[in-house]
Amino acid sequence: MRVAPPHRSSFRLTDRQVGILFMAPFVITALAFMAYPIVESVRMAFFAYNPLRPDDIHFVGLRNFEYILGDPLFWDSFMQATIWTLVSIVFQTVLGVGLAMLLNQSLAGISVFRGLLLFPYIVPTVVVALNWRWIFNPEIGVVNYALKSVGIIDENIYWLSTPSMAMASTIMLNVWKYTPFVIICVLARLQTIPLELYDAAKVDGAGTWRRFLDITLPHLREVLIVVIVFRTIWTFNKFEEIYLLTRGGPGTSTFNLAVYSFEQSTANLKLGVGAATGAIMMLLLLAGSVLYIRVSGFGREEQAL
């Protein structure tokens, strides 16, 4: 007696269908938590809405944008955001490349230092800001105590109460926390550069600085472009470091556009103005990123190939 072979289902997914199936959770999550808030924020920029009167919402066209562009505090916040971003990115890039080159050396115990560099990046921002508030305390902070001990200053510096010092303090916090991101990206690229190139350059008599300019920097070019673009976007949008450290003060001396948008939405209860500020920030970052990539020539080599 012959036993019939078990029935095999003819249902089978193609590779394309399997890929779509795996991508579906990410796409759904992105639409729910990224695309929808962006669209809703842009829509809200054309409406006047007070959260204390939820039924009173009406279309105002470009009036929110007219209010922002006519507000001197917006332009002050824009200038401060530009300074905060540019200075932070310059220091992060220079320090990140320099420290990555040091950590790329073959030294005993270097892997321990490579692990420790992640510490600032993984510590929650709230913890970092609260600790830095204590560090910069003019009376009991360790910064003033250390500077007095070595004779650099005679009187306490009010780091978070003086406009110029407050901006410098927020920049130092941002540089300390996010330079490890630059180090990780640069270090990963440095470890892929063939050592034979450096050996050949040494034979030709090239010094350390010449080897950096002719070999290291060209190999780092593409990764630095990507890192600078991402860090510029993230820094320009940063809110928590400034707000937790100085709350935008003293006065409005450390306002950036993110803090300005927050204050308009919460303190002034002008959600439409806050949303319009976010829309302007998005346009500025998009235009700046496209311009930077085009000027730097990123991707032209691939297109030529």
Tokens of 82: 């530009």
Q: Which residue has the tokens 């650099």?
A: 152
pLDDT value of position 199: 84
Paired tokens of 92:
């992060």
- Residue 260 in 3-state DSSP? helix
Phi, psi of 48, rounded to the nearest 5 degrees = -100, 125
Phi, psi of 270 (to 5 degrees): -110, 80
Total Cβ atoms within 10 A of residue 99: 18
Distance CA 187, CA 189 (A): 5
pLDDT of residue 178: 92
- Mean per-residue pLDDT of the chain: 86
Contact between 232 and 178 (Cβ < 8 Å): no
Contact in structure between 254 and 80 (CB atoms under 8 Å): yes
pLDDT band at 305 (very low <50, low <70, confident <90, very high): very low
| Band of residue 107 on the pLDDT scale cut at 50, 70, 90 | confident
Q: What residues contact residue 133 under an 8 Å CB cut-off, 6+ apart?
A: 160, 244, 245
SS (H, E, C) 81-97: HHHHHHHHHHHHHHHHH
For residue 79, what pLDDT is reported? Answer: 94
For the residues 288-297, what does the mean pLDDT come to?
79
Question: Do 282 and 210 form a contact (C-beta atoms < 8 A)?
Answer: no
How far apart CA 68 and CA 260 sit, in angstroms, is 10
Separation of alpha carbons 38 and 31, rounded Å: 10
Is the predicted pLDDT of residue 160 greater than 80, yes or no?
A: yes
Nearest to 277 by CA among 292, 268, 251, 55: 268
- Dist CA 47 CA 57 (whole Å): 7
Q: Side chain identity at 286, as an amino acid letter?
A: L
* SS3 (DSSP) at 114: helix
Residue 97: what are its φ and ψ, rounded to 5°? -65, -45
Q: What is the pLDDT of residue 298?
A: 61
Tokens 């204390």, residue located: 52
Q: List the structure tokens of 145.
A: 């105590």
Residue 290 has pLDDT above 80, yes or no: yes
Given the structure tokens 């955001």, which residue do they identify?
81
Residue 110 has pLDDT above 90, yes or no: no
Quick: pLDDT tens for 161-189. Answer: 888 899 999 999 999 999 999 999 999 89
Burial class of 225 by CB neighbour count within 10 A (0 to 12, 13 to 18, 19+): middle
Query: pLDDT tens digits for 17-60?
Result: 888 888 888 888 888 888 888 888 889 999 988 877 877 788 88
